[in-house]
Structure 1
Amino acid sequence: MTTLPWDHPDPFTLDVTPEPAHIDGLNHTNNAVYVQWCERVAWAHSAALGLTLADYQRLDRAMAIRQAHYDHLLPALLGEALTLGTWLLPGDGKLRMERCFQLLRRSDGATVLRGRWDLVCIELGSGRARRMPPEFLQAYLSAALPAAPVEPGAV
């Protein structure tokens, strides 16, 4: 396989293929399936970084989606080989961070979908925003892409 044209280097990836149950009345992958795939790759990435759902429960903290945005660029058809990549952006290092997604068709490298989640750390017991515990900072921020430099004079 040739190198895929990722938006950012070194994504955490998950190979996916639309199955008959994923196809909607318009004969392409239903939009809800993309959301499920993004959730799957996000949890797999988190686990690879050393934080599982059990860790979230033990720490009484979670990174909750505050806002999600998806750009559906091309349809994904039954049986197409796809690769979903994800990256973390550092956020504020206290409460917030971002997770980005890109879904590529392996046959030609075309981008099918781009997505972004704005995440906030919450206390599971209360649902209130709370600072990220040291375990989150260690796992997530150490894996995050470097922050983009601010241009001099930029507002």
Structure 2
Amino acid sequence: MNRFAKTFTALPEHIDELGHVNNAVWLQWVQDIATAHWSAGAAPEHVERFVWVVTRHEIDYRGNVGLGETVAAETWIPNPPKGAQFDRCVEFRDAAGKRLVAVKSTWAMLDKASGRLVRVPAEVAAPFMP
């Protein structure tokens, strides 16, 4: 399950004073699709044991959507983890397929019980690798 897709629709609470989706909402959607991907692809025991936190976001905004418009989001992990971290890519496209927002985030894995960073085990990474 290397690639994962989800659709988002711009609701009234997502719209800013410029009449389109606020930048903070795009980040919330990044977290939403990342969390959904983890929940869908990870073994239940891994979901119970580990949690992910973001350490960095790089975002390119090339367009936007207004109230009621829908975007198709796709996420994937392009490379194996390095220690406790890996990069995740997310792209949002409009109905015509135009890429509106592209995000590259670095996530770090924590052990839920201790709250400490842990190296990503191969069996945890395997379902998400290309």
Q: TM-score, normalised by structure 1?
A: 0.72
Kindly tell me the number of residue pairs found equivalent between the two proteins.
129
Structure 1 residues 27 and 69, CA gap change in structure 2 (3 angstroms): same
CA radius of gyration, larger in = 1
Instruction: State the alpha-carbon separation in 1 of the partners of residues 23 and 115 from structure 2.
Output: 28
Which residue of 117, 125, 129 maps to 1:140? Answer: 125
SS of residue matched to 1:34: helix
Structure 1 residues 143 and 123, CA gap change in structure 2 (3 angstroms): closer
The one-letter code of the counterpart of 2:92 is L
Which residue of 115, 118, 130 maps to 2:118? Answer: 130
The one-letter code of the counterpart of 1:63 is W
Instruction: State the alpha-carbon separation in 2 of the partners of residues 89 and 141 from structure 1.
Output: 12
The one-letter code of the counterpart of 1:120 is A
Greater RCO (Cα-Cα under 8 Å, separation 6 or more): 2
How many percent identity over aligned positions?
25
Which residue of 24, 43, 48 maps to 1:32? Answer: 24
Q: List, as ranges, runs of 4+ consecutive aligned residues in structure 1 with deviation greater than 6 Å.
A: none
RMSD: 2.2
Instruction: State the alpha-carbon separation in 2 of the partners of residues 68 and 89 from structure 1.
Output: 15
How much does 1:63 deviate?
2.6
- Of Structure 1 and Structure 2, the greater strand share is in 2
Deviating more after overlay: 82-91 vs 20-29: 82-91
Which residue of 3, 9, 13 maps to 1:21? Answer: 13
How much does 1:74 deviate?
0.4
Q: TM-score, normalised by structure 2?
A: 0.84
